[in-house]
Amino acid sequence: MTHLPSTSDTYYVLQDRTEDAINAYKFKRSVKGEASRRIRSVYVTKPEAHNVMWQKLESFYEDVGASVQAALEDLHKIKAVPTDDYKGLVELVDEVESAYSQLEELGNLNVLTLRDVDLITELLPCYLKVEWRRRYRDITATEKIHPFIPLMHFLEGEREAVSRIAEKDSISHTTSECKEFQKLPVSGKEGKYELLKQIDACFKCFGNHRRLDCPKKVPCPCGSGQHHQLLCESKRPEENKGTGFAQKETHVSRSDSLSLYPIYQTAVCGSNKTVSVFCDGGSNATYITHWAAERIKAKKLGKITLDVTTMGNVEQTYHTQQYEFTLQTNSGKKVIITALIWNGKNYWPS
């Protein structure tokens, strides 16, 4: 006599198969990138689908050589980022970091050579290409043995600098229309000026060019400075005028009406000299005296022309010299400074 399965037995068998198929489907959907391509051929309806997918992935990722190759392929598939695409820049750094972390986990960072550094550098916006080349010039000979490590540190710093913009970045509005940007104070560490400096944006129109090259002639209705109206310090609430009111970053003293700004003594890299640095959070440029530039043997970059609007709305054109030098902070960090001569024999009105 043949034993036929009961209805309940059939139900449980079908239920188990359905659950297996659902689990296999969820597993397959959750896997991305190279791993997804490795299990693409497995049908989730097969009873052993889940185990087959695991076996395929284990056989691939247990092979260190294959894993290294996959990380390098992911690195070489990254696309270039336009200059004003801050969200795209953050995503690029995330992708580079993902491949870098995988190689670091495998103990194979040594496969990343100067060729890979150049490949990633070419994908960066123009202003970052220039900044990285300056950084690379100043890194030590030991660091240049594995140049991708300092590049990764550089990219992580840039990602942190633009992440606030990237969070709100949208093609539907410009920087001047951005509500988050409008809420920021004008000056100070977290102010508009500092944020624009970090991305090398024009102070007149927020475009991707130097302020000296900006086609906009009268950026602010106040007429007292070459800046965008969102950067105008003169727009203070009427009720606060004459009351000693000051935002925390201006440090205004009620007693003598003097603004107190920090002054630091710091070392000049490549020299045994120290310099005094006067920090003005509201300044939109860096200046150095001609005497100091010669004393620290700063590198000449070339001559430059400045259009200056002084008190009384008087406009003058000045020709000056641009210098570059590197300072070292108390923490040991090297900072490249580009400064203009503001007095002395290289600075005269036309």
pLDDT tens profile 237-265: 433 333 333 333 333 334 444 455 677 77
Q: Does the pLDDT value for residue 111 go beyond 80? A: yes
331 — pLDDT class (breaks 50, 70, 90): confident
Residue 280 φ/ψ, nearest 5 degrees: -115, 105
The whole-number pLDDT of residue 153 equals: 92
pLDDT at 191: 80
More confident residue, 208 or 97: 97
**Pair of tokens at residue 166:** 């990237």
> Residue 148 above 90 pLDDT?
yes
Residues 206, 155, 148, 268: what is their CA dihedral angle, to the nearest 10 degrees? 80
At 294 the pLDDT is: 84
Distance from chain centroid for Cα 86: 8
Highest mean pLDDT: which range of 18-27, 126-135, 321-330: 126-135
3-state secondary structure of 330: coil
Lowest mean pLDDT among 11-15, 106-110, 157-161, 192-196: 11-15
3-state helix, strand, coil in the chain (%, to 5): 45, 15, 40
Exposed/middle/buried for residue 204 (C-beta within 10 Å: 0-12, 13-18, 19+): buried
Query: Quick check: 104 pLDDT over 80?
Result: yes
Q: Given this model, what pLDDT does residue 253 score? A: 39
- pLDDT computed for residue 123 by the predictor: 92
More confident residue, 345 or 47: 47
One-letter amino acid identity for 234?
Answer: S
Residue 230 CB partners (closer than 8 Å, separation 6+) = 176, 181, 182, 186, 192
Q: For the full predicted model, state whether its pTM sits above 0.85.
A: no
Q: Which residue has the higher pLDDT, 173 or 129?
A: 129
Give SS3 for 271: coil
State residue 96's pLDDT score: 92
Asked if the model's pLDDT at residue 218 lies above 60, the reply is no
Region 112-139 average pLDDT = 91
Position 55 pLDDT exceeds 90: no
Residue 130 CA, chain-centre distance (Å), reads: 13
First to last CA, the chain: 114
Q: Which residues contact 25 (CB under 8 A, 6 or more apart)?
A: 44
Count the neighbouring beta carbons within 10 Å of the beta carbon of residue 104: 15
Other Cβ atoms less than 10 A from the Cβ of 15: the count is 10
Structure tokens at 138: 């100043």
Average pLDDT over residues 344-348: 44
| H or E element in which residue 154 lies | helix 148-168
Q: What is the mean pLDDT of the chain?
A: 73
Q: 246-257 in b/e burial notation, b at 16+ Cβ within 10 A?
A: eeeebeeeeeee
User: Cα–chain-centroid distance for residue 326?
Assistant: 20
pLDDT single digits (tens) 291-318: 888 888 888 888 877 776 665 666 777 7
* pLDDT at residue 344, as a whole number: 46
CB 249 within 8 A of CB 189: yes
